[in-house]
Structure 1
Amino acid sequence: MRIARFTVDNEIHFGAVEGAPGAETVTVLAGDPFYTGVHPTGQRHGIADVRLLAPVIPRSKIVCVGRNYADHAAELGNELPTSPMLFFKPNTSVAGPGDPVTLPSWTEEVSYEAELAVVIGRMCKDVPVERVPEVVFGYTA
């Protein structure tokens, strides 16, 4: 199931996206699927008729893994770390599809790349590998 966060008629909603590429519709969900589950309301919109937003606004922070892509590390002249290189981003760093990315005026070098985000759907810690599917709400790019 594909879940989107969007605005239409100046209201923000979550919705379930269905349909073939180019003909997608989004069905409005009741409430926030993180807290209330996925409950379609029956109200539908064409995907072209809504403004897509960032899929979620993180409720705390974004945990990132750096230098985990060998080709990109080599391109920058960096070695791959022997253990995960973790860093945090504030939840305000999330942007929606097509939203502008504002760079500080002092920026001299920007490295852009695609990112895969795993959306954790509940509080958890030290989750064993076999139980990971229980805490993952979904993925986004």
Structure 2
Amino acid sequence: MRLATIRSEQGSFAALVTSETTALKIVGYSNVGDLLQNPQWREVAEHTTGEEVVFRHKDLEAVVPAPKKIICVGMNYTNHIKEMGRQLPSHPTLFIKFPDALTGPFDDISIPSYANSTLDWEGEMAVVIGKRARRVLAADAAEYIAGYAVINDYTVRDYQYRTMQWHQGKSFEKTAGFGPWLTTSDSFEFGGQLATYLEGEQVQSTPTDDLLFSPATLIEYISHIYPLDPGDVIVTGTPGGVGHARSPKRYIGDGETVKIEIDGLGYVANRTVFEQ
């Protein structure tokens, strides 16, 4: 099952996706995050009797537009850890992204002039929580996952490395395309490729089951620090191939499109626009 947040002239709404361009409206819910607050969200979506709508890429909003929490995981693919010259961590490296950073999966991403010189790509898989998780064991974590989506974690490297805290380079306003929809956990299998493309050139490619810390492990670890609520998002990390680790370094330029595709989840594609 695939669930999307779709924009319209009357406002956004949650929808059950039936094809690449059609969906059934889920009446009474303004977005997928709103829907997930209902403990019976799965039954509501599966049995929706809402009208059929036709949508375009630009009509898709960030699938969960305003999660209560977005927890990001750094250094979670072995090849990325090595390319950045770090040791394999014994525990997940966590940082926070604010909801203001999210944008639609096909929206343009506007970068201010003071932050456009070291803009890097990071293709990532996001885990969306389906019910409140507090001190959950990894063995039980699957029942707390609503599903998965693709996220485009644009990173401003000079801001990121100004201090030991990465957050400031990871949460610029509307720089993270998120979607294109939520693929429920029963409709997704790990092991396919996560691939990132810059202007059509593949710059990252790694299987999704190559994570150092799996979604289940992350849920156990995080939920023993603070509870996870329905609609919360865990961004699981990026594989090797980022521009900052190359020699010479390579960054995203004005007008360039970053596309991230994950087998079984679809893709997001955001064009970069440098502000004058």
Scaled by the length of structure 1, the TM-score of the pair is: 0.83
> Which residue of the partner structure matches residue 87 of structure 2?
79
Identity score, percent: 32
Q: Which runs of 5+ in 1 are unaligned?
A: none
CA distance in 1: counterparts of 2:132 and 2:72, whole angstroms: 17
Tell me whether 1:111 sits opposite 2:108 in the alignment.
Answer: no
> Which residue of the partner structure matches residue 25 of structure 2?
28
Note the alpha carbon deviations across 1:21-78, whole angstroms, 9 max, x for none: 5xx4110002332134224133011233870000002332210110112222333333
Note the alpha carbon deviations across 1:72-125, whole angstroms, 9 max, x for none: 233333333232111111111111111122334333322212111111123222
For residues 98 and 128 of structure 1, do their structure 2 counterparts lie closer, same or farther at Cα, with a shift above 3 Å needed? Answer: same
Structure 1 runs of 4+ with >6 Å offset: none
Scaled by the length of structure 2, the TM-score of the pair is: 0.45
Contact preservation (8 Å) 2:2, 2:17: yes
Aligned-residue CA RMSD (Å):
2.1
> 1:96-107 to 2 correspondence within 5 Å?
96-107=104-115
Q: What secondary structure is seen at the aligned counterpart in 2 of 1:64? A: strand
> 1:16-95 to 2 correspondence within 5 Å?
16-19=16-19, 21=20, 24-32=21-29, 33-36=35-38, 37=41, 38-39=44-45, 40-48=48-56, 51-95=59-103
Report the number of matched residues: 138
- Which structure carries more relative contact order (alpha carbon 8 Å, separation 6+)? 2
Tell me whether 1:131 sits opposite 2:140 in the alignment.
Answer: yes
Q: Which runs of 5+ in 2 are unaligned?
A: 30-34, 151-276
For residues 29 and 82 of structure 1, do their structure 2 counterparts lie closer, same or farther at Cα, with a shift above 3 Å needed? Answer: same
> Which residue of the partner structure matches residue 14 of structure 1?
14
